[in-house]
Structure 1
Amino acid sequence: MPLLIIAYIISFIDRTNIGMAKASMSVDLGLSATAFGLGAGLFFLTYAVLEVPSNLLLAKVGARLWIARIMLTWGVISCAMAFVTGPWSFYAMRLLLGAAEAGLYPGIIYYLTLWFGREDRAKATGLFLLGVCFANIIGAPLGGILLEMHGLAGWSGWQWMFFIEGLPAVVLAFVVWRKLPDTPAAAPWLTRQESDFIGQKLACEAREAPQSDGGFSLKKAFTTRLFLLLVLIYFTHQFSVYGLSYFLPGIIGAWGELSSLQIGLLTAIPWIAAAIGGVLLPRFARSEARSRRLLMLGYLVMAAGMTLGATAGHSLALVGFCLAAFMFFTVQSVIFSTLPNLMSGSMLAGSFGLLNCLGLCGGFLGPFILGAFEDRTGSATSGLWFAVALLIVGAIASAFIRPSHSRPLPEPSLSSKS
């Protein structure tokens, strides 16, 4: 878990550090808020398209090789972000970064299903998602410090930030290659009895899953009611998380004359709240009824927090963002821990990728729509109302997550069907 958390910390810093670079990078490259939001969101286009094939490859070749490959390529491209020269090269590099990192999150979530049973899965997912919180807690102040290197060796501060923050991924790729076991049976710290116990428990749970045989099928995924509900719910979640991730530094920067470091430190505060929520709450999702209640509560709390962030003064707005962030990764861990109750094997691996792929359309639209609202209104918080509306939709959809929705939809009757 520590190795996976560190990997996700680095990945999230590298995908969201453009939020800290927004002000100076936009000036240097001539980017409007809409163009910046488009570039930020383009990451998710290639990321989403390649999610399913990436996850199926991980299931085939093993997590150790595939995660190491992902980290090496994304680290190199993150460093190369320092060399963008205008809007089009910015768009191209964001597309390449998304392609390089595709499959990391759903791949690791699938990997966790090889280690943790149903009762512990949400807790393990919540702990893994601490990587996002730590990335923002560490990344925002670190980005602020690196931006202060402006002018050193003729580079802008944002160029130094991209280059330096991309290097740890390259180094960690070799650590993952050497240290990450593909399965419990390959873990040197487990005895044979311990790894056999894990394997037997997971095999028993897999036999209970309604869709546990055969390879991945898009038809099965798209005819399963609960899967479609999870896609809708996750879409609303990702819209809010990434919209806030990319635009929170700009929102805080508009509060007054603040240095890059001060903006970074204030930006980190909501993510401390997210870390606390991610540790404390997912452990309560030990049944379908509890998971449903936790999802509904989470979305309502996030909507209330975003509303406060859009309407209140600076101090109360920060409290609102903390309130919303407190539920971010509780909700996400519950969403992804629900899927293994439906399927296993290649079907589960592919469905994790498909869920993340479709949900991350919200990650693309969130920054783009928030940027468009800012350009039209001149207010960095105006787009938050769109996020509030989607979070209410997510709360309503969460109420319909019930065991009956886990059954596939009736397939069309065919005269040739045996």
Structure 2
Amino acid sequence: MPVTEKALISKITWRIMPFLGFLYLIAYIDRQNVSYAKLQMVDALGLSEYAYGLGASLFFIGYFLFEVPSNLFLERFGASRWFARILISWGAITIALAYTQNATMFYVLRFLLGVAEAGFFPGVLYLLTLWFPRDYRGRMVGLFMIFSAFANAIGAPLGGVLLDLDGFLGYAGWEWVFLATGVPAVIAGVVTLFYLPDRPEKAHFLSSDEKAWLAERLARENAGMSAEADNGFKALVNPRVLLMALCYVGFPLAAYGLSYWLPTIVEGFGVTNTVNGLINIIPWLIVAAALYIVPAMADRTENKTPYIVGPAFAGAIFLVLSAVVTNHTLQFVFLCVAAAGIFAGQPVFWSLPGRFLRGAGAAAGIAAINSVGNLGGFVAQNVVPWIKDETGSTIAPMFFLAACLAAAGVLVIVVGRYARSLERLGGPVPMPGPDKLITKK
């Protein structure tokens, strides 16, 4: 029976994307649960906002140090075993956070959580390069990242409800936040070991003709790449990888800054923990819609830049607007639009590395971009509470996030124009812009 491209892509999508998305939902809830635990944990441990932000941000240091090695181990051992290891270890550490006794223990466990989770997000991005042709990767990354929005939408009311369990069975509300979100990761890790195929050629749900078609299509797309594209260590010093890492920093900085701080802003509206959680569902549903629409539009065009920087500039503008108005309703509306702008262009950005890297090179390169970029999360979770402590305002940090997001957008444009001007002059293009990162056959 002849292989139909649309039917095959649909088959693969329905088989692996909901499962990967569900794992990301668990990951994102476990990463962001500190934003709700903070509402009680700061007083329980006697920490300042800044000290707590430092502890929360140590996650990104562990993540940064171990992300590239983790992705190289993924390429070596296979997705099922390595993802199972990641899930089980981060679930166990999340549970341990419920038993935090002091600031030092909190700092150590948050660092270890970053070590444990390192490699999951870039690992999935690498996995998508093995399963999907280029024309579909932007949409698949967008579909995958939609689950981060769902995670925030689910985590918001869940965090509020768990905090209100304060005293139940002798546990504080913030302790319930960690207990209830850590156990699912351990269970999902065991399931992953048996459910997730490592590569298309090992997938029992594909016929031999489907495997052959996909292998031929991917081989044809990779034919124009040099041997360096498959080298894990050379990818770490590839100018295109370094450039993408630099461009990416502002996006996670704004994303983590907003998602980490949004419950605190809403708390300032004078609502209960449960109402706080319910209100916080709204922005993430809007983000989910944006993550579907923007990547789908970008996949239909060669020029990806407008779909990366357009949402970024919109996000920056609405972050500023949220900080200059005093009406709580308008503040929240502007923050909802800003959240959509922060996230919508990221899947388009992540569709690019697989166009010039493959194999171990893709695993290492994607991990390097994400690990460097996610240092923005470390910056955000330290600077945002520091600004609040200095100004006494929960909304003032939005100016900082807006500046960083706008700078990321400007950097993408400037680098792209610089690369094109050199190309017109016939000179070398050592640091190509986003649209030039695509290797042509």
Aligned to 2:120: 104
1: CA distance between counterparts of 2:52 and 2:306? 37
2:299 is aligned with 1:283: no
Change in CA separation of 1:99 and 1:49 when aligned onto 2, cut-off 3 Å: same
2: CA distance between counterparts of 1:408 and 1:197? 35
Change in CA separation of 1:27 and 1:213 when aligned onto 2, cut-off 3 Å: closer
1: CA distance between counterparts of 2:402 and 2:114? 27
Aligned to 2:237: 222
Where 1:113 maps in the other structure, the secondary structure is helix
2: CA distance between counterparts of 1:40 and 1:229? 27
Give the drift of 1:208.
2.0
Is the CA contact (8 Å cut-off) linking 2:229 and 2:356 kept in structure 1? no
Instruction: Return 322-331 or 336-345, whichever deviates more.
Output: 322-331
Deviations 1:315-350 (A, max 9, x none): 111111111221333221111111111221111110
List aligned pairs for 1:15-414, cutoff 5 A: 15-210=31-226, 212-218=228-234, 220-224=235-239, 226-256=240-270, 258-286=271-299, 289-312=302-325, 313-399=327-413, 400-401=415-416, 409=430
Q: Which runs of 5+ in 2 are unaligned?
A: 1-16, 432-441
Deviations 1:282-309 (A, max 9, x none): 0122377531111120111110121122
1: CA distance between counterparts of 2:120 and 2:301? 27
1: CA distance between counterparts of 2:357 and 2:316? 31
Answer 1 or 2: higher relative contact order, Cα 8 Å, separation at least 6.
1
1: CA distance between counterparts of 2:82 and 2:408? 33
TM normalised by structure 2 equals 0.89
2: CA distance between counterparts of 1:307 and 1:204? 46
Where 1:401 maps in the other structure, the secondary structure is helix
Is the CA contact (8 Å cut-off) linking 1:235 and 1:358 kept in structure 2? yes
Deviations 1:385-413 (A, max 9, x none): 11111111111112133776998739xxx
1: CA distance between counterparts of 2:340 and 2:398? 17
Partner letter of residue 202 of structure 2?
A
Partner letter of residue 416 of structure 2?
I
Change in CA separation of 1:273 and 1:69 when aligned onto 2, cut-off 3 Å: same
Partner letter of residue 394 of structure 2?
A
1: CA distance between counterparts of 2:229 and 2:96? 43
Partner letter of residue 357 of structure 2?
M
Is the CA contact (8 Å cut-off) linking 1:211 and 1:343 kept in structure 2? no
1: CA distance between counterparts of 2:400 and 2:241? 24
2: CA distance between counterparts of 1:328 and 1:71? 27
Where 1:182 maps in the other structure, the secondary structure is coil
2: CA distance between counterparts of 1:221 and 1:31? 38
2: CA distance between counterparts of 1:73 and 1:326? 31
Change in CA separation of 1:193 and 1:329 when aligned onto 2, cut-off 3 Å: farther
Give the drift of 1:215.
2.1
Partner letter of residue 47 of structure 1?
Y
Give the drift of 1:64.
0.7
Instruction: Return 399-408 or 4-13, whichever deviates more.
Output: 399-408
Instruction: Return 4-13 or 312-321, whichever deviates more.
Output: 312-321
2: CA distance between counterparts of 1:282 and 1:46? 30
Number of residues paired by the alignment?
A: 407
Aligned to 2:5: none
Give the drift of 1:146.
1.1
Is the CA contact (8 Å cut-off) linking 1:70 and 1:100 kept in structure 2? yes
Deviations 1:219-272 (A, max 9, x none): x54341x4333212210001100011111100110112x111111111221111
Give the drift of 1:190.
1.5
Partner letter of residue 267 of structure 2?
G
2: CA distance between counterparts of 1:350 and 1:213? 10
Is the CA contact (8 Å cut-off) linking 2:64 and 2:375 kept in structure 1? yes
Instruction: Return 28-37 or 229-238, whichever deviates more.
Output: 229-238
Is the CA contact (8 Å cut-off) linking 2:294 and 2:345 kept in structure 1? no
Give the drift of 1:175.
1.0
Q: CA RMSD in A?
A: 1.8
2: CA distance between counterparts of 1:233 and 1:16? 24
Deviations 1:201-223 (A, max 9, x none): 111111223565552235x5434
Is the CA contact (8 Å cut-off) linking 1:242 and 1:367 kept in structure 2? yes
2: CA distance between counterparts of 1:266 and 1:233? 32
2: CA distance between counterparts of 1:216 and 1:182? 19
Instruction: Return 326-335 or 399-408, whichever deviates more.
Output: 399-408
Aligned to 1:415: none
Change in CA separation of 1:211 and 1:130 when aligned onto 2, cut-off 3 Å: farther
TM normalised by structure 1 equals 0.93
